[in-house]
Amino acid sequence: MDLSANESKTLIDVKDISFSYGPIKVLQDVTFPIQRGDFLAIIGPNGSGKTTLIKIILGLLKPSKGKVWILGKPAEEFDDWRKIGYVPQKATHIDPFFPASAREVVAMEFLARNKFPRLTKREEDLCIEKALKQVGMEHFKNWRIGGLSGGQQQRVFIARAIVNEPHILFLDEPTTGVDSETQEHFYDMLDTLNKKEGITIVLITHDTGIVNKHVTQVACLNQRLVYHGTHAEFCRAGAFKDMLAGHHLISHRH
């Protein structure tokens, strides 16, 4: 991964984003940066706009107000989506009978966009296997995706999301329906990706308990950004309680 010093520290800048589904306000005036190397957890109650926010960042939804800057470019002009990895919310999007092997799932992302210069078949295979290895799924490459356990499927989806060596990886509630022991391994793996591979990680989660050990930054969302800052500050500030109590205070602590 290229992490040269002259590259800007801010990977993604969310500026004053608002979004509504018809009359229902989902997000209001959300502003925060995502810095290179962050391990950021976006937390908040159901319907607080977490998934919507990520979808706006990824260009899947258009904000009604505000702008997102990705790697220094306005989102609507940004086109190098290979630099952004995404693992969507599980369960909602998977057909358990789909005839794709784990390897093919990773290949979809890797080969769907034409590569220049073209790689040989052997080089392609190596890249795909490397991604599977990074998530510890190299021995399952020929398994049908529906035949794997929930946790294993998630690993394959992460392999898919990192196969193009992105700068940043978004995960939407990745551990839903995964038992707690598997979750622990799962977060360890994310830790490795974050620290060793230098991939910035943004994670939507309900589970404030387990992320405590891993994340460096927390963004607390409840329509508005209630808190954004380091994890340590977050624990001290008791911002989560404020949020639940309905205080819409925006505080930035860095």
Partner 1 sequence: MEAFLTYGFLQRALLAGIFVAMACALLGVFLILRRDAMIGHGLAHVTFAGVALGLFLKIIPLSMALVIAVLAALGIMKLKEKAGIYGDTAIAIFSSVGLALGILLATLAHSFNVDLFSYLFGDILAIEASEVWLSIGLAVIVVFIVILNYHKFMYMTFDQEAAKASGIKVGRLDILLTILTAVTIVLGMKVVGILLVSALVVIPAAAGLQLASNFKQAIILSSIIAFVSVLLGLILAFYLDFPASGTIVILSFLLFGLFFIFKRR
Give the residue among 216, 79, 189, 59 at the shortest CA–CA distance from 133.
Answer: 189
Q: Cα separation of 167 and 182, whole Å?
A: 25
Site string for partner 1, 151-190 (x = CB under 8 A): ------x--xx-----------------------------
Q: In what order do the strands lie in the sheet with 65-70?
A: 24-35, 10-21, 65-70, 73-74
Considering only 14, 30, 75, 107, the residue that binds partner 1 (CB under 8 A) is 107
108 binds partner 1 (CB under 8 A): yes
The answer to whether the CB of 90 falls within 8 A of the CB of 161 is: no
Site for partner 1 in 49-78 (CB under 8 A): 58-60
111 binds partner 1 (CB under 8 A): yes
37 binds partner 1 (CB under 8 A): no
Considering only 2, 77, 79, 181, the residue that binds partner 1 (CB under 8 A) is 79
240 binds partner 1 (CB under 8 A): no
Rounded to 10 deg, the angle between the 121-134 and 150-162 helix axes is 130
Q: ω before 45 within 30° of 0 (cis)?
A: no
* Half-sphere exposure of residue 220: CA atoms within 13 angstroms, side-chain side: 27
Considering only 104, 140, 155, 234, the residue that binds partner 1 (CB under 8 A) is 104
Catalog residues that contact partner 1 under the rule CB under 8 A. 58-60, 79-82, 84, 86-88, 93-95, 97-101, 103-105, 107-109, 111-113, 142, 144, 157, 160-161
